[in-house]
Homo-oligomer: A and B are copies of this chain.
């Protein structure tokens, strides 16, 4: 399996050695990411993109409803009662090469399909709004047991959602067919903008 280096990656001799091992590289990569969730991988990629001036993409804070706040003397305001509330948008957005980028990230242990119940109606509606404004909308879908991650354009997700009325699952093969696969990489471990680049090429 080919290793794609992101442009501008500073390779340490350690990682260069790792690559030379050849056959064991995939295993080493998987080991390196062990226990790291998809969200954490995306956050690390975003930090890398920001530091290297490749893109400005942030995860939005978790929306909560604050009910009670204490203001103790001489210390920081303390929230003592608050509740999680439903997000009205996706989790990530930002700008890449002058384009508006908007996406959510989901992972599944399923091998053959992706359950649509992972999405909420309002997320689908938000992505449709983004497309209507000529923004770039997609979801990053990771099949954890396959260790495969895809950039799946929102237009396909919206079509599937309508077709299956928000229920059932999208077959793995259809996602693989309509997506841009995130190539393996070392730093960042999930270089998803590489897949977005391919998407852009198709759009231009």
Contact = CB atoms under 8 A, between A and B. Distances in A.
A98 B60 contact: no
22 contacts: A53-B129, A53-B132, A53-B133, A56-B129, A56-B130, A56-B133, A58-B89, A60-B60, A61-B62, A61-B64, A61-B87, A62-B64, A76-B84, A78-B83, A79-B81, A95-B100, A95-B130, A95-B135, A96-B133, A97-B134, A98-B99, A100-B100
Contacts of A102: 95
Interface string A110-136: 000000000000000010011011110
A98 B134 contact: yes
A174 B48 CA distance: 37
Interface string A64-92: 10100000000011111111100111000
A187 interface: no
A189 to B, nearest CB: 22
A50 interface: yes
A93 B93 contact: yes
Given A56-B126, A89-B58, A84 B77 contact: yes
A135 B79 contact: no
A6 interface: no
A129 B99 CA distance: 14
Contact of A95 (B61, B83, B133): B133
Nearest to A89: B58
Contacts of A76: 83-84
Nearest to A134: B98
* Residue from A55, A63, A87, A100 whose CB has the most chain B CB atoms within 10 Å: A100
